[in-house]
Amino acid sequence: MQLTGALSSHYPANEHGCTEVQLLNIPKPQTQTSPVKRPQPTRADGGATRQADMADLQDHVSQEMTKLYPLIVDLHKTSLGNILTLAPVISDLIRHPVPPQVATRILRPQDDRFSLPCLDSITSAELVSALEPCMAACDTAQMYKDVILRHTTRLCTADTIVGNMLDMILDFHIFVEGDLTKIRLLLADLAPSPHTDDALPMEMTGSLLQCYSGTACSFPNILRCLKRFVCEHDLEERLISVIAGHLLPSKSRPELPGPTDPPPRHQLDTSLPGPTCSLWRETLREWPIDCEAFEAVPQMNFP
Question: At which of 252, 277, 294 does a domain end?
Answer: 252
> CB under 8 Å to 193, separation ≥6 — which residues?
259, 260, 261, 262
CA-closest candidate to residue 104, choices 276, 291, 302, 261: 291
Q: Are residues 163 and 248 in the same domain?
A: yes
Dihedral, 40, 42, 45, 49 alpha carbons, nearest 10: 90
pLDDT score, position 290: 67
Q: Are residues 103 and 171 in the same domain?
A: no
pLDDT average per 10 residues of sequence, the chain (303 residues): 44 49 48 55 57 73 89 94 91 86 85 66 91 84 91 93 93 93 88 60 85 87 89 83 84 50 52 73 76 54 47
pLDDT score, position 167: 94
133 preceded by a cis bond (ω within 30 of 0): no
On whether the CB atoms of residues 113 and 121 are closer than 8 A, the answer is: no
Does 180 reside within a domain?
yes
CA-closest candidate to residue 243, choices 266, 258, 226, 265: 226
pLDDT score, position 254: 54
On whether the CB atoms of residues 180 and 216 are closer than 8 A, the answer is: yes
pLDDT score, position 75: 95
Q: Are residues 124 and 196 in the same domain?
A: no
pLDDT score, position 34: 57
Which one-letter amino acid corresponds to residue 28? K
pLDDT score, position 45: 54
pLDDT score, position 191: 76
Q: Is 138 helix (H, G, I), strand (E, B) or coil?
A: coil
Does 169 reside within a domain?
yes
